[in-house]
């Protein structure tokens, strides 16, 4: 089972697209004992812990204590990257995957996340490489009004010092659109969809050179198209992936601690086995013709519809467009596989759930 461990709800940034800001109150920091956490996890034969926040590197000592306590666990980290260099080297090398928030080139990243963030993030990712980190480093983008998906993903893929193993993005479409978008429909039509088409073309062209670029949304979706192996909700929310909030409650998703529907247990009285498949997406997802490829996009959005039913459909349309664009190149992809050193299993990403939601 996979658990997002929310180490703190505080963050050392205040990004323009963030729905939060500076967290205060009794649930900002962990309220339960680490012994209670350990007792809960002992009932799971293969726990995977994803350190999450807020910003988890504000609580590095706490992260170390948990890693020592759950010595047989697999560890992931989602971070804004500003304090990565403060994690002791012997602990950083024990982490399987690190998702680092960066939105593309310097001007886009710094516009949304604060001046100087881009350079500090790249400096610390370079440090990761220099200290011998051999795990998966993922550039995790938040894509919004200023983003150009082709330009920004291409920029991150082309970086050499440091380089990222994979690039993933999420559209900024969970919370209220007011203030975040000037004209979402126009942006999708004139920027995002054409950008996806150019990005898929680039991806396929690189395969002709024997290179499979780590564009996260494309990889597992194409794997399904190649093999016919359908997927349920790809992030695993409510199926085998949960969040342990600071008060010890267990939720289906780390972004929704304040919605009662999402709380499905707590570390004091719940057995991990009882959590499996506790919540799934409802219509319109299971009735969609692309359900087996998409898997349902987002459990929280499916249940809450903060953009309303019309907004939910608009976002699903972007997913269907991405799938149809990939499907249009399937014969060419198969030919590239046939005459290169690229194997079908290389599309089967990630090896372990690493916090990439897969569907933007």
C-alpha separations of 188 from 144, 149, 194 in Å: 10, 10, 8
Q: Is the pLDDT of residue 27 over 60?
A: yes
Which residues, in sequence order, are CB contacts of 17 under 8 Å at separation 6+? 112, 142, 144, 172, 180
pLDDT grade for 21, boundaries at 50, 70 and 90: low
pLDDT grade for 17, boundaries at 50, 70 and 90: confident
Tens digits of residue pLDDT in 235-259: 999 999 999 999 999 999 999 888 9
Tens digits of residue pLDDT in 105-137: 999 999 999 999 999 999 999 999 999 999 999
**Residue 177, pLDDT score:** 66
- The candidate with the shortest Cα–Cα distance to 196, out of 325, 355, 94, 70, is 325
Tens digits of residue pLDDT in 265-323: 999 999 999 999 999 999 999 999 999 999 999 999 999 999 999 999 999 999 999 99
Torsional sign, CA 242, 245, 247, 251: negative
């Amino acid at each position: 089972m996979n658990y997002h461990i929310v180490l703190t709800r505080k963050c050392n940034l205040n990004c323009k697209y963030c729905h939060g800001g500076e967290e205060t109150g009794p649930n900002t920091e962990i309220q339960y004992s680490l012994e209670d956490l350990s007792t809960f996890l002992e009932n799971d034969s293969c726990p995977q812990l994803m350190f999450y926040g807020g910003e988890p590197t504000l609580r590095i000592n706490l992260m170390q204590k948990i890693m020592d306590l759950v010595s047989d666990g697999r560890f992931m980290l989602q971070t804004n990257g500003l304090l990565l260099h403060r994690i002791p080297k012997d602990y950083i090398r024990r982490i399987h995957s690190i998702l680092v928030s960066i939105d593309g080139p310097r001007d886009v990243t710094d516009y949304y996340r604060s001046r100087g963030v881009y350079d500090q993030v790249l400096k610390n990712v370079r440090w990761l490489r220099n200290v011998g980190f051999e795990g998966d480093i993922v550039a995790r983008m938040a894509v919004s009004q200023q983003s150009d998906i082709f330009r920004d993903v291409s920029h991150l893929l082309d970086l050499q010092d440091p380089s990222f193993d994979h690039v993933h993005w999420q559209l900024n479409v969970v919370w209220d659109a007011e203030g975040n978008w000037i004209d979402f429909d126009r942006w999708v039509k004139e920027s995002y969809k054409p950008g996806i088409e150019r990005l898929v073309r680039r991806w396929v062209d690189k395969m002709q050179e024997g290179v499979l670029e780590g564009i996260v949304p494309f990889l597992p979706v194409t794997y399904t198209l190649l093999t016919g192996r359908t997927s349920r909700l790809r992030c695993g929310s409510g199926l085998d992936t949960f969040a342990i909030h600071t008060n010890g409650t267990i939720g289906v998703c780390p972004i929704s601690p304040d919605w009662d529907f999402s709380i499905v247990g707590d570390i004091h009285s719940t057995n991990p086995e009882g959590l499996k498949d506790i919540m799934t997406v409802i219509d319109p997802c299971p009735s969609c013709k692309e359900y087996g490829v998409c898997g349902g996009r987002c459990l929280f959005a499916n249940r809450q519809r903060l953009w309303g039913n019309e907004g939910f459909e608009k976002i699903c349309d972007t997913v269907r467009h991405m799938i149809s664009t990939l499907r249009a190149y399937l014969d060419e992809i198969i030919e590239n596989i046939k005459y290169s050193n690229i194997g079908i299993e290389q599309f089967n990403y990630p090896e372990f759930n690493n916090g990439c939601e897969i569907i933007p």
